[in-house]
């Protein structure tokens, strides 16, 4: 049998179960659920403070967060995000699944080969998605996996609203005809 580390893909059930077990590990060792987006908020807040030091006094965000005992920092979750990049790189490098793709094939079929168009959509999509994640205080990891497995009502509400919104948007983008290409 071939080495599992060099295989391009594993069963989604094996991966899902392993992520579930990883969440036990993160609760047991760091008392922390798996989540991604608060590290982005912290990075933006720290960058703002570094670029314009007076912001810390003049912008209400910093005072409000300090009052909550939740000042922006480089913490466990920040390193988790760095690790996700490194782990995915390692997995793709071991299996030869690395790519330099800019325009995914189904996007190309539907919207053309223009990299500018694809990258503009990716930038705007990323910004809107992150703004939404911070309004809701979680993402597909923080709410969708970690919150749902804790049986949190807020997280189940997030999932129940988020997936139909995403599905609706995907059908708006691709239409019924476009779905044949994905």
**Which residues 74-133 are close enough to bind other proteins by CB under 8 A?**
74-92, 95, 97-107, 115, 118-119, 121-133
Q: What does the longest C-alpha to C-alpha distance in the chain come to?
A: 62
Does 54 participate in binding other proteins (rule CB under 8 A)?
A: no
Does 22 participate in binding other proteins (rule CB under 8 A)?
A: yes
With CB under 8 A as the contact rule, the residue among 53, 57, 60, 68 that binds other proteins is 60
Residues in the chain, how many?
Answer: 182
Which tokens in the block code for residue 64?
Answer: 């409000």
**Shortest CB 72 distance to other proteins, Å:** 8
| Other CB atoms within 10 A of residue 132 CB | 14
**Shortest CB 177 distance to other proteins, Å:** 11
**Shortest CB 65 distance to other proteins, Å:** 8
Nearest by Cα to 45 from 75, 73, 64, 21 = 73
**Shortest CB 69 distance to other proteins, Å:** 14
- Burial of 67 from C-beta contacts in 10 A (0-12 / 13-18 / 19+): exposed
What is the size of the binding site for other proteins (CB under 8 A)? 134
With CB under 8 A as the contact rule, the residue among 16, 52, 66, 113 that binds other proteins is 16
**Shortest CB 53 distance to other proteins, Å:** 14
Dihedral (C-alpha) 66, 150, 134, 45: value to the nearest 10 degrees? 40
Q: Which of 112/163 has CB closer to other proteins? A: 163
Tracing tokens 């069963």 back to the chain, one arrives at: 11
């Amino acid at each position: 049998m071939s080495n599992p580390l060099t295989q391009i893909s594993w069963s989604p059930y094996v991966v899902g179960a392993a992520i579930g077990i990883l969440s036990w590990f993160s609760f047991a060792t760091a008392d922390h659920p798996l989540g991604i987006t608060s590290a982005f908020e912290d990075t933006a807040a720290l960058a703002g403070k570094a670029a314009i030091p007076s912001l810390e006094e003049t912008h209400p965000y910093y005072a409000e967060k300090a009052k909550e005992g939740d000042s922006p920092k480089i913490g466990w979750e920040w390193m988790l995000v760095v690790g996700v990049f490194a782990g995915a790189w390692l997995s793709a490098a071991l299996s030869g699944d690395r790519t330099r793709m800019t325009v995914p094939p189904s996007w190309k079929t539907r919207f053309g080969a223009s990299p500018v168009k694809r990258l503009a959509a990716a930038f705007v999509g990323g910004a809107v998605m992150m703004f939404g994640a911070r309004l809701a205080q979680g993402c597909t990891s923080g709410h969708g996996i970690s919150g749902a497995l804790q049986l949190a009502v807020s997280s189940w509400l997030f999932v129940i609203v988020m997936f139909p919104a995403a599905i609706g948007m995907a059908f708006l983008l691709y239409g019924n005809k476009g779905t044949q290409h994905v």
